Amino acid sequence: MRKKNGLVEILVWIVIAVGVLWVLSPFYWAVITSFKKPADVFRLSSVPWVQFRPTLANWKTEFEQRGPEITRGILNSIIIAVCASLFAVALGSFAGYGLARHKYRRWKNRDLSFWFLSQRFLPPAATVIPFFLLMKSLRLLDTQLALILVNTTFVMPFAVLIMKDMFRELPVELEEAAWVDGCSRWQSFLRIALPLAAPALVATIIICFSFAWNEFLFALVLTYKNASPITVVIAGTEHTQGVQFWYVSTRLLLAIIPPTILALTVQKYIVRGLTMGAVKG
């Protein structure tokens, strides 16, 4: 669309390089710090093997000393995020299918969509206190179930709106043919629409998983020890270890890596996911 221009091309690549450097340098710093001996941490050294000798000692010590706590944290995070994203996407694909294929009379489809979307504007601080009191009276404090319920609630609106868009983009003719053959809505949903939407479904699960994994406020309030996910584990040990950055960085990486890597697999759906379908990427 524009004329090729050598100088502009070079400038563009400089901007790209700066952007990539800006994004990657904190990750890089965390990784090299986790492989540094304590004495090297507070020296300006950033090139392994040249400026400092990398060591696995921090990772080993960390797992020897805090192994059970960390593995429990990661396991809790996995259980909570997997269950919450599966629940949310199950509820979300039902509702999304309903909104895409059915005209609701009393509440119009548009108003229903907005109703789900409005949850995106709800500050977590507004529900954290009633949730705390509720879970306390149900004796669900410090259980994984409490956090599964909370995270399902938060990520479900995403799932509803993304799945609605996905089902709407499927050709309706296939399902109409099935209805003529005597399939019920339920059967055509399960056997035709759902399999066709499978890639979007998986992407939605991954996006929901990442959000649930990263959730912190509710995890901090509703768990103490047994059900604490990794985000709370890294917050809890900070006070006992202070500036021992070589240990801190190992835990940070354990919390950061899974959702960050997973998200790289769903690039096609990310824009929809982030704007809840307002912008099609």
242: left (phi over 0), alpha (psi -120 to 50) or beta: left
Listed ranges 38-46, 59-67, 78-86, 194-202: which one lies at the site for other proteins (CB under 8 A): 38-46
Nearest to 34 by CA among 278, 244, 277, 226: 244
Q: How far is the CB of 198 from other proteins (least distance, A)?
A: 18
Three-state DSSP class for 52?
strand
Residue 13: CB atoms within 10 A of its CB come to: 10
* Residue list 190-249, contact with other proteins (CB under 8 A): 210, 213-214, 216-217, 221, 231, 234-235, 238, 243, 245, 248-249
Per the structure block, which two tokens stand in for 37? 């001996």
Q: Is 37 in the site for other proteins (CB under 8 A)?
A: no
Q: Is 252 in the site for other proteins (CB under 8 A)?
A: yes
Listed ranges 48-56, 60-68, 138-146, 269-277: which one lies at the site for other proteins (CB under 8 A): 269-277
Residues that bind other proteins (rule: CB under 8 A) add up to a total of 100
Residue whose entry in the numeric block shows the structure tokens 């080993």 = 60
Taking every pair of Cα atoms in the chain, the longest distance, rounded to a whole number of angstroms, is 75
Residue 211: CB atoms within 10 A of its CB come to: 18
The contact mask relative to other proteins for 137-176 (x = CB under 8 A, - = no) is ------------xx-xx--x---xx---------------
Per the structure block, which two tokens stand in for 180? 């003529």
From first CA to last CA, the distance across the chain in angstroms is 20
Q: Among 10, 37, 38, 42, indicate the residue that binds other proteins (CB under 8 A).
A: 42
Residue 48: CB atoms within 10 A of its CB come to: 15
Contact between residue 251 and residue 228 where contact means Cβ atoms under 8 Å apart: no
Q: Is 113 in the site for other proteins (CB under 8 A)?
A: yes
Contact between residue 117 and residue 157 where contact means Cβ atoms under 8 Å apart: yes
Q: Is 120 in the site for other proteins (CB under 8 A)?
A: yes
Q: Among 35, 72, 83, 97, indicate the residue that binds other proteins (CB under 8 A).
A: 97
Q: Is 29 in the site for other proteins (CB under 8 A)?
A: yes
Q: Among 91, 145, 194, 202, indicate the residue that binds other proteins (CB under 8 A).
A: 91
Q: Is 274 in the site for other proteins (CB under 8 A)?
A: yes
The contact mask relative to other proteins for 48-67 (x = CB under 8 A, - = no) is --------------------
Nearer to other proteins, 55 or 275 (CB): 275
